[in-house]
Amino acid sequence: MQRYMNNGNKPTKTGFGEGLLAAGRNNPDVVCIGADITTSVGCDLFAKEFPSRFFSMGIAEQNCVGVATGLALEGKIPVFSTYGVFAALRCADQIRISVCYNNLHVVIGGAHSGVSVGPDGATHQALEDIGIMRVLPNMTVLSPCDATQTKLAATAAIELCKGPVYIRFGREAMPDFTSEKLGFEIGKAQMLRDGANLTIIATGHLVWEALEAAILLESKGIFARVLNMHTIKPVDKEAIIIAARETGAIVTAEEHQVNCGLGSAVAEVVVQNYPVSMAFVGMGDQFGESGTPRQLMEKFGLTAVAIAEAGMRLKGREVAKFL
């Protein structure tokens, strides 16, 4: 069986900080705006090395977007980061009108995504940010799968994009299993595992769970393709259509509300181009709770077993006892 190895657990926020620092070293026009939570969103590395290019606005997220807008209009490349619930929800109006309407190159880091934030609970668990950000014109939405890929995504967003970018990442240490050699191309999904019976399209932390789910399914005679959809917008339509045509069924998996998230983006492509049966693994129109990251992932069905069970049902098989 093909298996990806966990190179050690590492927070995706750390990868974001490393990518920001690398881009900052390459371009003196890169500046960073903080909202009084610099370390917890991975911006401390940049702030320490480039203190004159780091601006702390305090707990005033909407003002941070306004400052970022002004800096972008003056030719800088501003990176603003805070918790995703504040970046995507509290600042939605400012991002829509000031950043997206003007198509400005502002990079927004949405930290603490999903229920894997853990004990902070529902108020700090970003579960709607993909849906909100992907409907905004001109916005690119990235959702990398681990710390290594988050580093690549942050650097690409800063160095290669021209308009606004939202990058979604987490706080807790999660499996870091990809290599920088895989590269990162915005808008291009990565096939991490091939299979002919089913496709699992996952994003963020659930890519690792999807790979583990594929191994469980293979033990039952179902060979699943796994796509890492690290770019939610623009979504890789070609990869989705090919997967639908070649495997005949798709399961999506995300640490986000099923409504308006990755599953919805994939379904929009499928229904318009090559309709196949689909199943959706994600949050079912509910808020999160407090608990350890693993407790919450298991409670809300965001695990390899849950993905494998969805695949079994989609293929008309009796749900297996994997554990």
pLDDT tens across 160-174, in order? 999 999 999 998 999
Q: How many CB atoms lie within 10 A of CB 164?
A: 28
Instruction: Establish if 208 belongs to a structural domain.
Output: yes
Write down the H helix ranges in the chain. Answer: 12-26, 44-49, 61-73, 84, 92-94, 129-134, 147-159, 206-218, 237-247, 262-273, 293-299, 304-314
pTM above the 0.85 mark?
Answer: yes
| Tokens (6 digits) for 80 | 């603003």
Q: Is 2 domain-assigned?
A: no
Q: Is the pLDDT of residue 237 over 90?
A: yes
Whether 80 and 158 share a structural domain: yes
Do 202 and 135 share a domain, yes or no?
no
Q: What is the pLDDT, as a whole number, of residue 6?
A: 84
Q: E strand or H helix at 168, and its extent?
A: strand 165-168
Residue 150 lies in a domain: yes
Average pLDDT over residues 121-148: 96
Q: Do residue 140 and residue 219 come from a single domain?
A: no
Question: How would residue 118 be classed by pLDDT, with cut points 50, 70 and 90?
Answer: confident
**Tokens encoding 155:** 């650097």
88 contacts 134 by C-beta, under 8 angstroms: no
The rounded distance, in Å, linking the Cα atoms of 81 and 255 is 20
Residue 3, domain member (yes or no) = no
Amino acid at 188: K
* CATH code assigned at 78: 3.40.50.970
Report pLDDT digits (tens) over 168-219. 999 899 999 999 998 899 999 999 999 999 999 999 999 999 999 999 999 9
Answer for the pair 80, 109: CB distance below 8 angstroms, yes or no: yes
CATH at 265: 3.40.50.920
Domain boundary (146, 175, 204) is at 175
The mean predicted confidence, pLDDT, of the chain is: 95
How far is it, in rounded angstroms, from Cα 151 to Cα 68? Answer: 21
**234 assigned to some structural domain:** yes
Which of residues 114, 143, 175 is at a domain's end? 175
For 258, the token pair is: 């099923």
Residue 158 banded pLDDT, cuts 50, 70, 90: very high
Tokens of 57: 């606005």
One domain, residues 255 and 166 = no
**Is 181 within a domain?**
no
Residues 147 and 202 both lie in one domain = no
Sort strands 107-111 and 165-168 into parallel, antiparallel or unpaired: parallel
Computed on alpha carbons and rounded to an integer, the radius of gyration of the chain in Å comes to: 19
What is the DSSP track for 37-57? -TGGGT-HHHHHH-GGGEEE-
Transcribe 231-276 into DSSP letters.
EEES--HHHHHHHHHHHSEEEEEEEEESTTSHHHHHHHHHHHH---
Domain final position from 118, 145, 175: 175
Same-domain status, 105 and 160: yes
Residue ranges making up the domain that contains 292? 190-314
Give CA–CA dist 61/179, Å, rounded: 33
Tally of structural domains, the chain? 2
Tell me: do 109 and 167 sit in the same domain: yes
Residue 231 has pLDDT above 90, yes or no: yes
Same domain, 283 and 225: yes
* Residue 201 sits in the same domain as residue 169: no
More confident residue, 188 or 38: 188
Amino acid at site 103: N
Same domain, 103 and 232: no
Same domain, 112 and 81: yes
In a shared domain, residues 132 and 244: no
Q: Is the dihedral of CA 52, 58, 63, 64 positive or negative?
A: positive
Look at residue 1 in the predicted model and tell me its pLDDT. 45
Instruction: Yes or no: say if 283 and 289 are a contact pair by the CB < 8 Å rule.
Output: no
Residue for token digits 């895989």? Answer: 182
Within a domain: residue 184?
no
Q: Which amino acid is at 263?
A: G
Note the pLDDT tens digit of each residue in 285-315: 999 999 999 999 999 999 999 999 999 999 8
